[in-house]
Amino acid sequence: MCGPRRDPTNGRRATDPGFPAGRVSPDLLAALCVAALAFLLYAPSLHYDFTNWDDPGYVIDNPWIRGFAWASVKRWWSDAYFGNYAPLTLASYALDHTFWRLRPAGYHLTNVLLHATSAGLLLLALRRCGATLAAAVLGAILFAIHPAQVESVAWVAQRKTLVAGFFLLASFLAYTRATRDSSPSMVRLTTSFVLYLAAILSKPTAAMLPAALFLYDLGRRRERWPRLLLEKWPFFIAACAIVILTRHAQMTTPGLAEARLTGNFAAYVGLSLEAIGRYARILLFPTNLTPLYEVPSAPVLTDPRALAGFAFVAVGIWGFLWAARRARGLLVWMGFFWLSLLQVLPVVTHPIFLAQRYLHIPLLGFAASAGIGADALARRITGRQGRALLAVLLAAVVIFLAALTLSGERVWRDSISLWSAAVARPPVRWTAYSNYGAALEAAGDMSGAILQYERALDHNPDAILAITNLGNAYARVGELERAEALLRRAADLPGGVPAKRAQAAVNLGVVLEARGRRDAALSAYQKALALDPESVDARVNLAKCLRALGRATAARLRFEQVLERDPGNVAAEIGLADLDADAGRHVAARRRLDALIARIPKLPEALLERARVYAKEGNTAAARADLDRALDLAPPGALRREIVESRDALTEPAAPR
């Protein structure tokens, strides 16, 4: 059981004759072995690609992780990102980008190392709390291999979960070391607090640590509980601050505020109990897992899953009361589980009903408690055969969970693998069909993409994203009339999220331009800007349309406004260069493009535009060299075809006069 800390060295220092200097302690050796096991289990993910689910927003298309420039650092600390205030998570992506650019293996490696290290730290934390080595090893292995961890480790966009878990455990370990003696060490307490700040600045769900520290102190220190609470005031203030920041970020982020659940008190309770019941099933029977879970349409207290959640809560309350009387050292691990689980219920702070990634921190407490319980059971079994049977059972459980994890991990190889598996496991959310369609479209399977978008609309006819995606897909296959009708419907959908309606209006403008109706396209871009004044796409496309209509002065003003809001915007820089070239200022256009290419050498769009400027100047050799470089860099698609057409036109002999 988890009681008073038992020192494996029996009070001897490492330099005593009984514990030779330079020898690795059993605790550290076991922690390294568990970390190695976790690393090997997730090593296959090092060969996986990014997915189209949030990875573009966090990494691929995120300009704020392209280094440690002051503008980027300022953005991390001043603004929320994806509804969370997590500057250290963005800093970790920037560090990866410094070494790996956009090679996914490096990002996956960081995720795997963070998870493996956290598994080792959990073992050390269990030992620090007085658990036996066997209990600590069992708990750490369960945390490392549980299939619910796959989403957090194999998904690059879930870096925040892993960083927060790592710093959370480090802070807890520093606190246990600081309070080991009768007079707590202020230096170590400060270290614990700094590490806690790092945890909540990575993901707000780490905010529960101060309450867990209080439960830890209740289990081992003799001071009165008001004093134990009072001494943690810096932790509680930081927790309140991050909760307020997160609440503000989620309520002001387009899409999140509108997605928050509404209903009466009974519906809230029913939904929370159903979520707890389903989380319990994932923890105890982690099979048939899926990245997206359907939100119940009308949660009721009598639903079997809500009743299962009620039973699970009742067992948890009984466990707390029992631990308070018989095993107070267990309180901290039960606190880790329940405090972090309550934070992620859909009616507390999250608009998302259920997600496996939300179990990463609760699993610290669940796995630790399970390890301690298994060890206690083994100690109650006196016969050799009984202990051997328990050992075989535990080994079978570990092998079974590891096999499920390996199977679930393979699903995350790429976007097509992820979403094809998701739509094969009913009930399916419309978002899964839409994401699957986007993955097929990116792979060039337009018929398959259109089929999946239509399935998404069958599930949710008012899904703006699915309507927009289907309209874009029809535009790509040349069915512009159907594309226009769908995009107009998405842009005009009442009650839709303004930012999503604005994007649909932008795409509508592109289709209208392709149909030769530039005046109507201009109106569509203006509507998009009215719906979402922060939309860079709307501003850029509006400026391009003005240029095509011959309104150079207005177009230049719009491009300059884009650069004021988004310094270094590639489309705006190229647009201004085009305007200079149109006006015959070839040198000015080329200088702007030279600076852009010097900043981003592998930018085919800029190389194509500079080749056109060279061609206008009569420098055919330089134009051809830029077109050859652009062709090597451009992915298959419209841009590549445009480059090929420009190169063919450049090499055609001049027509006789």
CATH value at residue 516:
1.25.40.10
The answer to whether residue 14 sits within a structural domain is no
Question: Based on the domain organization, do 353 and 449 belong to the same domain?
Answer: no
pLDDT at residue 529 is higher than 80 = yes
What pLDDT sits at residue 93? 93
Which of 571, 558, 580 lies closest to 605 in space, CA to CA?
Answer: 571
> Does the structure show a pLDDT above 70 at 651?
no
* Residue 499, domain member (yes or no): yes
Residue 328 in any domain: the answer is yes
The pLDDT of residue 113 is 97
Q: How confident is the model at residue 654 (pLDDT cuts 50, 70, 90)?
A: very low
Are both 229 and 184 inside the same structural domain? yes
Statement to judge: residues 119 and 255 lie in one domain: yes
- Looking at the structure, tell me whether residues 331 and 284 fall in a common domain: yes
The answer on 334 and 483 residing in a single domain is no
On whether residue 18 sits in a domain, the answer given is no
The answer to whether 474 touches 486, Cβ cutoff 8 Å, is: yes
Which residue's entry shows tokens 């029977």? 285
Final residue belonging to a domain, choices 535, 564, 593 = 564
Residues 434 and 405 in one domain: no
Same domain, 591 and 536: no
Lowest mean pLDDT among 9-18, 32-41, 164-173, 592-601: 9-18
pLDDT(457) > 90: yes
Q: Report the residue count for the chain.
A: 657
Identify residue 249 by its one-letter amino acid code: A
Q: What is the pLDDT of residue 306?
A: 82
pTM of model > 0.75: yes
Same domain, yes or no: 499 and 453 = yes
Q: How confident is the model at residue 376 (pLDDT cuts 50, 70, 90)?
A: confident
Domain stop point among 375, 410, 445: 410
Cβ contact 409:44 at 8 Å: yes
C-beta of residue 129 within 8 angstroms of C-beta of residue 82:
no
> What confidence category does residue 232 fall into, taking pLDDT thresholds of 50, 70 and 90?
confident
In a domain, 9, yes or no: no
Q: In the predicted model, what is the mean pLDDT of residues 101-115?
A: 94
Report yes or no on 541 lying in a domain: yes
Is position 545 within any domain?
yes
CA distance 318 to 637: 61
451: left (phi over 0), alpha (psi -120 to 50) or beta: alpha
Backbone angle region of 288, left / alpha / beta, with phi > 0 → left and psi within -120 to 50 → alpha: left
Same domain, 84 and 167: yes
Give the confidence band of 253 by pLDDT, cuts at 50, 70, 90. low
Residue at which a domain ends, from 410, 438, 472: 410
Question: Does any domain span residue 139?
Answer: yes
**C-alpha pair distances (Å), 388 with each of 79, 143, 393, 396:** 56, 23, 9, 12
Mean pLDDT comparison of 55-59, 233-237, 486-490, highest-scoring range: 486-490
Domain count, the chain: 3
Contact residues for 290 (Cβ-Cβ < 8 A; gap 6+) = 421, 422, 425, 432
Q: Are residues 559 and 593 in the same domain?
A: no
Residues 6+ apart with CB under 8 A from 193: 171, 234, 235, 238
Residues linked to residue 81 through DSSP beta bridges, in sequence order: 84
Structural domain that includes position 305:
26-410
Pair 184, 223: CB distance under 8 Å: no
Considering the domain architecture, whether residues 82 and 43 belong to the same structural domain is answered as yes
**Residue 228 shares a structural domain with residue 369:** yes
* DSSP-assigned beta bridge partners for residue 84: 81
